[in-house]
Structure 1
Amino acid sequence: MVEKVPMTQPGYTKLVEELRFRQQTERQRIIEAISEARAHGDLSENAEYHAAKEAQSHNEGRIGELEDYVGRAEIIDPSKLSGDSIKFGATVKLVDEDTEAEKVYQIVGDQEADVKLGRISISSPIARALIGKAVGDSVEVVAPGGSKAYEILEIRWG
């Protein structure tokens, strides 16, 4: 059985756009760079050729990853979700119990996480600690930077 990869529609769209770019634009650019480098003669000491081949390998590897993610995508629309406990797609307002600083995070798929935008991965330590919890609950998050305690102030959908 194929394990589905949860993601939001914007996250899915971004992956499809990157896949299309890598297949149609980047692949062609790299092929042209390899052809141009080949024209310079001896390939054994041709740095341009080796760099282009390495770029090709990286691009093809990423295409494979993207095809896998897109093929296993399970698109979840947070606006259609509801409930009193935290799950994928929830936007959660927390207060740090030590500093009183408030933070807002949306729990999203691994490929669309961007902590600077307040989007945390479903598999991150903080998201794993929040799943299943409700407003008023306190959670202890054990992260690489140490342990933090948060109180859940609000859960929003969509």
Structure 2
Amino acid sequence: MAKVSYYTEEGLNKLKAELNELKTKGRADIARQIAEARDKGDLSENAEYDAAKDAQGLHELKIAKLEETLSNARILDENSIDTSMVAVLSNVKIKNRKNGMVVTYTLVSEEEADLKQSKISVGSPIGKGLLGKKVGEVAQIQIPAGLVEFEVLDISR
């Protein structure tokens, strides 16, 4: 059974644009590479042709995976997010209880995760550990560096 993923409207539009780019420009580029390799003669000993065909297979696989992702994608209405507990698309302000560092993360789908923009995946250890927590609760999360405790300071959208 396919896994449903939740996206912001912006994130879903990026995926659609990427798929469109792969189907149009990407396929045309690969077709041109195959045609150029085919023009170079004997296909049985043409490494360039084999490489172009392999690239075509990988490209089509990427398109198929993206189409599957889009078929299982759902847009989350940010206005309907319950801010009483941590959920997908929540902005969560947390405090590391060991060193006192305070950070704010937005929990997003795996495809939209970008640490530079403070967007972490709900599938990451920290994302999983924070889901369902309320303000004031402490999440004990096992990360590669060991057990870390985060206190939820604020939840918003």
Contact 2:81 2:87 in 1 (8 A): no
* Structure-2 residue corresponding to 1:124: 124
* Structure-2 residue corresponding to 1:105: 105
Q: CA deviation at 1:86?
A: 0.7
- Name the CA distance, whole Å, in 2 between partners of 1:118 and 1:42: 53
Count, aligned residues: 157
RMSD over aligned CA atoms reads: 1.6
Q: CA deviation at 1:101?
A: 1.6
3-state SS of paired residue (1:135): coil
- Percent identity between matched residues is 36
* Paired residues for 1:62-81 under 5 Å: 62-81=62-81
Q: How has the CA–CA distance of structure 1 residues 150 and 35 changed in structure 2, closer, same or farther, with 3 Å as cutoff? A: same
Q: Deviations over 1:20-78 (max 9, x none)?
A: 00001101110110110111123344332222222211211111011111111111022
Residue identity matched to 1:68? E
Q: Which runs of 4+ in 1 moved over 6 A?
A: none
Deviating more after overlay: 48-57 vs 34-43: 48-57
Which blocks of at least 5 consecutive residues in structure 1 are unaligned? none
The reply on whether 1:86 has 2:86 as its aligned counterpart is yes
* Structure-2 residue corresponding to 1:18: 18
- Name the CA distance, whole Å, in 2 between partners of 1:35 and 1:69: 31
3-state SS of paired residue (1:132): coil
Which blocks of at least 5 consecutive residues in structure 2 are unaligned? none
* Structure-1 residue corresponding to 2:142: 142
- Name the CA distance, whole Å, in 2 between partners of 1:43 and 1:147: 57
Residue identity matched to 1:147? L
Residue identity matched to 2:79? S
3-state SS of paired residue (1:74): strand
